[in-house]
Every structure is written in structure tokens, then in C-alpha cells.
Amino acid sequence: MAEKNINSPLLRDSWFDNVKAFLIICVVVGHLANGLFSTTTWWVVALQNFIYVFHMPAFMIVSGRFAKKRIDKGDWPTVVSKMVVPYLIFQTAFLVLYSGLASTPSKFNYFNPLFGLWYFMNVALYSIITTHLKKHKWLFPASLIMALLIGFSQAPLYGGFHRIVAFYPFFLFGYYTAGMKFDFCKKPYFRVLSYLMFVAIGIYVLYNFKNKNGDISWNLLCMNKDYAYIEKAMKWSTLETLAHAAFRYFMGFVGFFMVIGMMPTKKTFFSYVGKHSVYVYVLHCMLIVILREIDEELDILRVLTNKWRLLIYCFSGVPLSFILASKPVRKLTGWFIAPNFDLAKIVRRLAGTEEKEAK
């Protein structure tokens, strides 16, 4: 794809396909690592922490980048078609899956996302509210302040609202920078710096999370726990916790540039994984739900006590991502993952504007 097209977010962009491929593979590996056995295996905890430093912040930034055109047009029907309808389908499917495994969630409803589905609800909500809030010039700094302050709330926030507030600054950053080419990220010096930073973060996490509180630190990276919980677990003061949270946001933005700096700009053998990342995301979540439920009954993961077996299990997420994004799997599951439903077209037809747009 020509370089000049990179500032047109809705055109096929191999660079960001590669970025999404890398990120979705990290998601799969991270979810596989986050099993019942992981809390007693320090390097698996370190792997989770390393991945969570950058993968979801970067994913939200990319999502904001590609949502810009819909947001600017106020195209809520497309948001409903592409995000809300799939979310409702997936949420229902997960309920059926849990029920089939004799483990129906006790708090099921359509405003309380099941495993992994919070991403769809977040992006849909962000896309709709940003259309109305974008006119406020202080929106981004205000969202960042709110994201830092939400951690002080100790009351359970309904439907994962805590995480909705926490990730909004990343989405907004992607939206506001959607027209930027980021040419400096393609420079040889920046690519070398990105790889060095990737290794440096990995080494830092590996050696600094080798302790009993490593899984607690992970909650800060996930942005799904209040500060009081983290303060008590880590024995930090409120100021220390807030400073760590602020640094966590800083590293999230840095991580985005690190990832795009590492990824090739031209089409590669793994670009299709990013292009069809939604298949990987939904299907791997379903597979992990099945695996965890079966493990609770049969303890099948006990064989992973050997460090090499555990290593193979965690990184099996790499080939699994390629398989789930493959053409045969897409053909088999396309009716479910990407249903042929276009609310925008229906709205245009009802409004009588479809023919005008065609002309």
C-alpha cells in the first residue's frame, strides 16, 4: 500500500494490519498465561505483566484511529452494525457456552460483558459519545484526569464502567492522531530504539515482578481494581499508587510508539492475522472459557507443572492466532463472527437517501 494512504484510516493499511496482528497475538498469549496455574509460576506472571504494559493501550489507540471517520460523520448506525450487534451476539453465545458447560454466570446481563467482551462495549460507547464530546478542546486532558481519579472509587462500578473510563484517553489519542503519518516511527534509528525498548521493558518486568505481589501489580496494568486494593496489597501510599498509575499511562502511550516502530510497513505473511483480528479475539476467548471450565473439572492443566510444557502452552497462542484468522476458519464461523447486517444501509433506505448517495 502506498505511503500516502496512511493518513486515510479506513483504507487498508498493511502497517497497522501488522500492528494489530502483533497485538492480537499478545492478547492470546496473555490470556493463555492467565490461567489458574499462573499465580504460582513467577515467570508466567512476569509475562502477563510485560504484555499488559502495552497491548490493550495500543489496541485502544489503533481502535480510535480507525473510528475517526465514523465519529466525525456521527455514523452511529455503522457503530451499531459493527460493534453493538456483534457484542450482543457474542454475549449471548458466551451465555450459551457457559450454560453448556454447566457454569452459567450468576450476574449475566447485556450490560455486564463476559470474558473479553468488554472491548466491544468500550469501543462502541467511545465511538458514540466522542461524536458529541469532541467539540470540547479539553476533552483529552479531562479524560486523562478522570481516568486517574476513577481509581479512587472503591464502589463496584456497574458493567465494568471503571475500565470504560480508564481506557478512554488511549482511544481519544488514536482519534486525535488519526491523520498523522508517524513517519518518524519508520526511521532506522527509531526502529532500533523500539526494539531496544521492547527488550529493556521485558528484562525490567522479568526481574522486578519476581515476587509474591506480581499478580497484584497486574491488576494495576489491567486497570480493573481500585487504588485501595492495590495500596493494601503492595503496601503503597496513596501518592505512590497514583504516581504508579500515572506512569502506567505514560508507558501505555510509549508502548504504542514502540510497537508501531517495530512493525514492518509493507504486507507480510502475518498481515492477515491483523486484518481478521476479530476472529482471533472472539474465538480464542471461547476456547479459553472451554479450557478453563474443563480444567476445573478434570484438572487437565496439571501436566503443565514442567516449565517447558508451560512455555509451550503459553506460546501456543502464536500458531493458534494464525489458525483462527485462517480462511477455512473464517468461512466456517463468518456467519457468527461477522454477520451480514448493515444498519446504516437500512437507515439510509428508510430515510430515502440511499439512491441519492449512489448518484
CA distances from 167 to 55, 221, 266, 339 (A): 12, 11, 29, 27
Q: How far apart are CA 50 and CA 291, in angstroms?
A: 23
pLDDT at res. 160? 59
pLDDT at res. 107? 65
Q: How far apart are CA 206 and CA 50, in angstroms?
A: 8
Q: Distance from CA of residue 86 to its chain's centroid?
A: 16
Q: How far apart are CA 263 and CA 12, in angstroms?
A: 16
Phi, psi of 296 (to 5 degrees): -65, -30
Which amino acid is present at 300?
Answer: I
Helix (H/G/I), strand (E/B), else coil: 49: helix
Q: How far apart are CA 60 and CA 78, in angstroms?
A: 18
Residue 101: how many other CB atoms lie within 10 Å: 15
For residues 15 and 180, the answer to whether their CB atoms sit within 8 Å is no
pLDDT at res. 133? 93
pTM of the entire predicted model: 0.87
Q: How far apart are CA 299 and CA 284, in angstroms?
A: 20
Question: C-alpha grid cell for residue 115?
Answer: 470474558
Q: 193-250: per-residue pLDDT in tens?
A: 999 999 998 888 877 766 544 545 556 666 666 777 777 777 788 888 888 889 889 9
Q: How far apart are CA 175 and CA 122, in angstroms?
A: 14
Among 28-42, 279-293, 304-318, top mean pLDDT goes to 279-293
Q: 116-130: per-residue pLDDT in tens?
A: 888 998 999 999 999
Q: 89-138: per-residue pLDDT in tens?
A: 888 888 888 777 766 665 667 777 877 888 998 999 999 999 999 988 89
Phi, psi of 117 (to 5 degrees): -85, -5
* Structural domain count, the chain: 1
Q: How far apart are CA 343 and CA 298, in angstroms?
A: 44
Q: 331, 18, 33: which is closest to 185 by C-alpha?
A: 18
Q: How far apart are CA 282 and CA 324, in angstroms?
A: 9
Radius of gyration of the chain from Cα atoms? Answer: 21
Q: How far apart are CA 315 and CA 328, in angstroms?
A: 22
For residues 45 and 38, the answer to whether their CB atoms sit within 8 Å is yes
- SS3 percent helix, strand, coil of the chain, rounded to 5, is 75, 0, 25
State the first-to-last Cα distance of the chain, in angstroms, to the nearest integer: 28
Question: C-alpha grid cell for residue 341?
Answer: 447486517
Q: 25-83: per-residue pLDDT in tens?
A: 999 998 888 765 555 677 787 888 889 889 999 999 999 999 999 999 988 888 888 88
Q: 20-33: per-residue pLDDT in tens?
A: 999 999 999 988 88
Question: What's the burial of 335, exposed, middle or buried (CB within 10 Å: 0-12/13-18/19+)?
Answer: exposed
pLDDT at res. 137? 87
Q: How far apart are CA 180 and CA 160, in angstroms?
A: 31
Note down the domain range covering 263: 3-358
pLDDT at res. 230? 76
Question: C-alpha grid cell for residue 313?
Answer: 502452552
